[in-house]
Amino acid sequence: MTDASPLFEVRDLTKHYPVRTGLLNRETGQVRAVDGIDLTVERGEAVGLVGESGCGKSTAARTMLRVEEPTGGTIRLDGDPVTSDDRSRLKRFRRRAQLLFQDPTGSFDPRRSIGDSVAEPLAIHGMTDRARRRRLVTSTLSRVGLDPSDADRYPHELSGGEKQRAALARALILDPDLLVADEPVSALDASVTADVLALLNRLRRELDLGIVLVSHDLAVVREVCDRVAVMYLGEIVESGPVESVFESPGHPYTEALLASIPVPDPTVERRDVDLVGEVPSAADPPSGCRFHTRCPAVIPPETYDLDGVAWRRVHRFHSRLERGPSVDLDAIRAYAASDSAPETAPADVPTHAVQTALRREFDLPSELGDDGAEAVLDRALARLAAGEREAAARLLADEFGTVCASEAPATHPVGGDDRQQHTAVCHLLDEE
Amino acid sequence: MIGAEDSPGTGTDDSQPADGGEPPSERFEDVDWASIDADGGGRSPLRLAALVAAGSYGLAVASDRLVAGGDPTIDVAFGGVAFVWDATAVDWLFVATLSVLVFALVPLARNRRLVAYYWRRFRRHRPAVLSLAYLLVIFLLGTVGTLFLDPPALDVAAAYQPPVFLSVDASIPTECVGPVVEGRCQGTWRYPLGTTADGKGLLALAIFGMRVSMQVGLIATLISITIATAVGATAAYAGGWIDEALMRYVDIQQTFPTFFLFLFLAYLYGGSLFVLIVIFGVTGWGGIARIVRSEALQRSEETYVAAARSAGASGPFVVWRHVVPNVSNSIVTAATLNIPVLILSEAALSFIGLGNVTLPSWGQTIAAGRGDLATAWWVSTVPGLFLFATILAFNFLGDALRDALDPRQEVGR
């Protein structure tokens, strides 16, 4: 890296949405959609931003272009901070940084011709000469692979791929330096996707365009991007050069995402990484490392000798008690009753039978393999069976507490010294 | 990277002729934005035309009010034919309304293919096409025709003439204009629709009534939809307390009895058509504003709005260019269904004697013929039929427009 300022730099970007409830619309909480992300894009560089749906990547894309007002953080273009205080400056920023939307159909006004829509940014930025706008639209449409006569057609007369090309033309017509593409191909089918990505690549080289590509699809990112940042629940958990991140992921979440890419070769042996459950709510993110509730490699406590599978199940059980939906004890009792002697009423089911049912419900192994741990789990199940959910959760937290849940992990370099730019945020890297 | 250079038609395609003189090869990299920023941008021809029209309109109104005073606004004579027109306040409002309608046609002319598409959908409703033709005739007779026709004149001698092809007992008209056959007075072409008790020709009365109806319907509706669109779109796009304040005001206004306001003002200033139109216009927009708001709320969430915003468009620009055009179908439909309500209200007010009694409105004429139904049934019936047909035509038109412009039916096209 040179000491000159990068094209686009985002530091500690946050976007919190207030949660309002009740009659008085009082703010009762916050959804931390984007919670402190850093991103740097050089000229001509493509940076991928990947993550599951709901991880906040689209919000991040909109916020970093100030389409939505960020809650905090700084955004710099060519070293100049972008703020909304200075309107003419913000408008210049709007000219130099463009957003490409996911849905090519919705991004065109159905009552305006394609040419009109593509020319609109020119009009917004003060080009009043209609004939000149028309000339620019014509030349731009042909550069994105459309026929210049398509300018007179209406959105419903174009296919999805054509519309996305037109959307690209609209994003490029102001000659931006930065393009933020929010899932640009996820609404397109495979062959069109390849075309659009190739076009994006070609234009990037032609125009020396910096690109932020937001996608849930790692294959798309691998095809276009130089660097990649992996997002989970509003935070970036790993970032680095694409080859390095894809070859040797440093974060279990990245590993899980990589494992989810379909491989067309059935003989290739795949790591079976299970990523269960859904992304937790950003209104109440898990403590410590946000991924710990779903992490396949969550660090076990040192006090007990548990094997990996048993430990993860116990941890997941603990997470569900802390954060999951309430446990319907009546249903579990009824289930246990139906399992035992037919004349037992649900209220008379012995505690051990309820505990067995609970084990089944939470997918817990019947034997943990460590006597101490087994005893603790039994006590926790007994408390849960007695309806004391908080007490059970507290006991598990005391006995099976893990560093993943208690402390926020630090950023660590991944790989050798030559890969200083590849970093991951995980406790697994603490020892090194 | 796979398939890097496979997109067709890449590079600049210079073969396409441009509508300007220069070749179409200007690329977006070549645009010098600094000079455009410095330039500040001129005005588009359309906006210039609108400004000129508004300016000359203002001047004309001012000269009529201040300079001409009580004299006729226009008093010219070419070759023996004198054209005298003393424009009233309502006339000026009507001129403004018609000018706005002309400018509203510009986007239609620009998007001819889209208009043709909607016309094809509209054409499927036969009654609506007939209604449109009928309303165009009414509109032209009422606006252009009345400029060249003499207003119906008092002629007691010609009272109660029956319509042409019909006859009435010869004792009923004061003097029969046509032939009297077997003791019955025959209608003549001089008064094709008969005459009133004052001897005014009903055809002329009906035509001047068209003008009143068109003025009431169009002016008041234009005032209404202008306010409704501004309020509804602002409320939807701005949201928050602005939305809350505007919509609560609409709630209050909707509970306000317009009729009593009119009674009050009629008592103070006399029941002029101007007062009636203004009251209908400025109090009747609440329902339309609600429709516009709910539509605009949905449109504001569309991606094309976000796209315009991210390109740097201001709030008013987005509302004007994207939100309003995309709710225009609802506005047009609501306006078309608002017009007959107003026409009917005006007729009703005139009928019960609250309007301007010197005005040849349909309601007035119906009221005048009320006492003669047994002997001269046509006096009330002729304007009544025009009123009926006009209301029906507007309703047909409104329903057909609603179907033709409904964006939900555009899916899959």
Are residues B115 and B183 located together in one domain of the fold? no
Is A156 near chain B, with CB under 8 Å?
yes
Are residues A219 and A72 located together in one domain of the fold? yes
Are residues B285 and B373 located together in one domain of the fold? yes
Look at strands B180-181 and B184-186 and give their pairing: antiparallel
ipTM of the prediction: 0.79
Are residues B162 and B97 located together in one domain of the fold? no
Structure tokens at B207: 């035509």
What is the 8-class DSSP label of residue A300? Answer: P
Q: Which domain-ending residue is among B183, B200, B217? A: B200
Nearest beta carbon to residue B311 from set A94, A139, A152: A94
Any bridge partners for residue A179, and if so which?
Answer: A98, A211
Chain A residues within 8 A of B312 when measuring between CB atoms: 90-91, 94-95, 121, 124-125
User: CB A261: neighbour CB atoms within 10 A?
Assistant: 12
Chain A residues within 8 A of B25 when measuring between CB atoms: 139
Chain A residues within 8 A of B18 when measuring between CB atoms: 131, 134-135, 138
Residue of B241, B303, B405 for testing the chain A interface, max A β-carbons within 10 Å: B303
Has residue B9 got a pLDDT over 60? Answer: no
In sequence order, what are the residues at sequence separation of 6 or more whose Cβ sits closer than 8 angstroms to the Cβ of residue A307? A369
B287, HSE (Cβ side, Cα atoms, 13 Å)? 12
Chain A residues within 8 A of B309 when measuring between CB atoms: 67
**Residue B23's closest chain A neighbor by CA?**
A135
Chain A residues within 8 A of B2 when measuring between CB atoms: 194, 198, 223
DSSP E strands, A150-225: 178-182, 210-215
pLDDT of residue A136: 92
In sequence order, what are the residues at sequence separation of 6 or more whose Cβ sits closer than 8 angstroms to the Cβ of residue A2? none
Å between A63 CA and nearest CA of chain B: 11
Has residue B4 got a pLDDT over 60? Answer: no
Chain A residues within 8 A of B306 when measuring between CB atoms: 62, 67, 99, 101, 107
Å between A132 CA and nearest CA of chain B: 8
Please indicate, yes or no, if residue B34 is contained in any of the structural domains. no
Instruction: State the Cα–Cα distance between residues B280 and B273, nearest whole angstrom.
Output: 10
Q: How many domains does chain A have?
A: 2
pLDDT of residue B70: 65
Q: How many domains does chain B have?
A: 2
Please indicate, yes or no, if residue A244 is contained in any of the structural domains. no
Q: Which domain-ending residue is among A225, A245, A271? A: A225
Task: Report which of B391, B339, B352, B127 is spatially closest to residue B383, judged by C-alpha positions.
Answer: B391
**Residue B9's closest chain A neighbor by CA?**
A145
Are residues B252 and B116 located together in one domain of the fold? yes
Look at strands A411-413 and A423-425 and give their pairing: antiparallel
Chain A residues within 8 A of B48 when measuring between CB atoms: none
Q: What are phi and psi of A54, to 5 degrees?
A: 90, 5
Å between A209 CA and nearest CA of chain B: 12
Residue A423 one-letter amino acid: T
> Edge-to-edge strand order for the sheet containing A227-232?
A97-100, A178-182, A210-215, A46-50, A227-232, A235-241, A423-425, A411-413
Nearest beta carbon to residue A174 from set B12, B13, B28: B28
Domain hosting A360: range is 308-401
Are residues B283 and B137 located together in one domain of the fold? yes
| Mean pLDDT across B276-299 | 92
Query: Could B26 and A175 be called an inter-chain contact, meaning their C-beta atoms sit closer than 8 Å?
Result: no
- The low-confidence residues of chain A, meaning pLDDT below 70, are 1-3, 266, 268-278, 324-326, 339-344, 346-347, 415-420, 431-432
**Residue A173's closest chain B neighbor by CA?**
B28
CB B363 within 8 A of CB B348: yes
- Residues B153-171: pLDDT tens digits? 888 888 888 888 888 888 8
3-state secondary structure of B166: coil
Structure tokens at B121: 């959908």
Any bridge partners for residue B176, and if so which?
Answer: none
Return the H-helix or E-strand segment holding A425.
strand A423-425
**Residue B115's closest chain A neighbor by CA?**
A111
Instruction: State the Cα–Cα distance between residues A353 and A364, nearest whole angstrom.
Output: 14
Return the H-helix or E-strand segment holding B45.
helix B45-62
Instruction: State the Cα–Cα distance between residues B61 and B73, nearest whole angstrom.
Output: 10
Please indicate, yes or no, if residue B378 is contained in any of the structural domains. yes
Please indicate, yes or no, if residue B130 is contained in any of the structural domains. yes
Q: What are phi and psi of A239, to 5 degrees?
A: -150, 150
Chain B residues within 8 A of A175 when measuring between CB atoms: 28-29, 31, 33
The string of DSSP codes covering B306-339 is HHHHHTT--HHHHIIIIIHHHHHHHHHHHHHHHH
Please indicate, yes or no, if residue A260 is contained in any of the structural domains. no
Instruction: State the Cα–Cα distance between residues A419 and A45, nearest whole angstrom.
Output: 18
Are residues A221 and A313 located together in one domain of the fold? no
Query: Could B4 and A198 be called an inter-chain contact, meaning their C-beta atoms sit closer than 8 Å?
Result: yes
Å between B103 CA and nearest CA of chain A: 18
Residue of B5, B12, B16, B108 for testing the chain A interface, max A β-carbons within 10 Å: B16
Are residues A323 and A218 located together in one domain of the fold? no
Å between A396 CA and nearest CA of chain B: 45
**Residue A68's closest chain B neighbor by CA?**
B310
In sequence order, what are the residues at sequence separation of 6 or more whose Cβ sits closer than 8 angstroms to the Cβ of residue A276? A294, A316
Please indicate, yes or no, if residue B44 is contained in any of the structural domains. no
Please indicate, yes or no, if residue A381 is contained in any of the structural domains. yes
Structure tokens at A8: 């686009």
Are residues B146 and B163 located together in one domain of the fold? no
Is A199 near chain B, with CB under 8 Å?
yes
Return the H-helix or E-strand segment holding A239.
strand A235-241
Task: Report which of A430, A380, A374, A379 is spatially closest to residue A402, judged by C-alpha positions.
Answer: A430
Any bridge partners for residue A37, and if so which?
Answer: A13
Are residues A54 and A179 located together in one domain of the fold? yes
| Mean pLDDT across B330-343 | 91
How much helix, strand and coil, in percent to the nearest 5, is found in chain A? 40, 20, 40
User: CB A11: neighbour CB atoms within 10 A?
Assistant: 15
Q: Which domain-ending residue is among B200, B234, B258? A: B200
In sequence order, what are the residues at sequence separation of 6 or more whose Cβ sits closer than 8 angstroms to the Cβ of residue A172? A98, A140, A143, A144, A179, A203, A207, B28
- Per DSSP, helices labelled H in B163-239 are 202-214, 220-238
Taking phi first (over 0 means left), then psi (-120 to 50 degrees means alpha), and beta for anything else, what does residue B162 get?
beta
In sequence order, what are the residues at sequence separation of 6 or more whose Cβ sits closer than 8 angstroms to the Cβ of residue A134? A115, A119, A151, B18, B19, B20
Q: Which domain-ending residue is among A202, A225, A248? A: A225
Instruction: State the Cα–Cα distance between residues B352 and B363, nearest whole angstrom.
Output: 8
Give percent of chain B above pLDDT 70. Answer: 87
Are residues B362 and B382 located together in one domain of the fold? yes
Is A125 near chain B, with CB under 8 Å?
yes
> Edge-to-edge strand order for the sheet containing B167-169?
B167-169, B184-186, B180-181
Query: Could A148 and B310 be called an inter-chain contact, meaning their C-beta atoms sit closer than 8 Å?
Result: no
Taking phi first (over 0 means left), then psi (-120 to 50 degrees means alpha), and beta for anything else, what does residue A72 get?
beta
Please indicate, yes or no, if residue B266 is contained in any of the structural domains. yes
Residues 217-246 (A) with a CB less than 8 A from some CB of B: 223
Query: Could A65 and B37 be called an inter-chain contact, meaning their C-beta atoms sit closer than 8 Å?
Result: no
Greater model confidence, B8 or A364: A364
The 3-class secondary structure across A336-382, one letter per residue, is: HHHHCCCCCCHHHCCHHHHHHHHHHHCCCCCCCCCHHHHHHHHHHHH
| Residue A116: CATH number of its domain | 3.40.50.300
CB B158 within 8 A of CB B202: no
Are residues B331 and B387 located together in one domain of the fold? yes
| Mean pLDDT across B322-345 | 90
Are residues B310 and B361 located together in one domain of the fold? yes
Please indicate, yes or no, if residue B247 is contained in any of the structural domains. yes
| Residue B228: CATH number of its domain | 1.10.3720.10
Nearest beta carbon to residue A145 from set B8, B40, B308: B8
- Per DSSP, helices labelled H in A65-189 are 87-96, 114-124, 130-143, 160-172
Q: What number of residues does chain B have? A: 413
Nearest beta carbon to residue A125 from set B10, B19, B312: B312
Are residues B206 and B328 located together in one domain of the fold? yes
User: CB B157: neighbour CB atoms within 10 A?
Assistant: 9
First vs last Cα of chain B: how many Å apart? 36
Are residues B178 and B257 located together in one domain of the fold? no
Please indicate, yes or no, if residue B114 is contained in any of the structural domains. yes
Domain hosting B161: range is 156-200
Structure tokens at A317: 């059980």
Q: Which domain-ending residue is among B184, B200, B216? A: B200
Are residues B141 and B161 located together in one domain of the fold? no
Please indicate, yes or no, if residue A277 is contained in any of the structural domains. no
Q: What are phi and psi of B188, to 5 degrees?
A: -130, 170
Is A106 near chain B, with CB under 8 Å?
yes
**Residue B25's closest chain A neighbor by CA?**
A139
Please indicate, yes or no, if residue A362 is contained in any of the structural domains. yes
Chain A residues within 8 A of B3 when measuring between CB atoms: 194-195, 198
Any bridge partners for residue B180, and if so which?
Answer: B185
Tell me whether residue A143 is exposed, middle or buried, using C-beta atoms within 10 angstroms of its C-beta: 0 to 12, 13 to 18, 19 or more.
buried
Q: Which of A33-37, A92-96, B84-88, B291-295 has the highest average model confidence (pLDDT)?
A: B291-295
User: CB A384: neighbour CB atoms within 10 A?
Assistant: 26
Query: Could A223 and B2 be called an inter-chain contact, meaning their C-beta atoms sit closer than 8 Å?
Result: yes
Any bridge partners for residue B201, and if so which?
Answer: B195
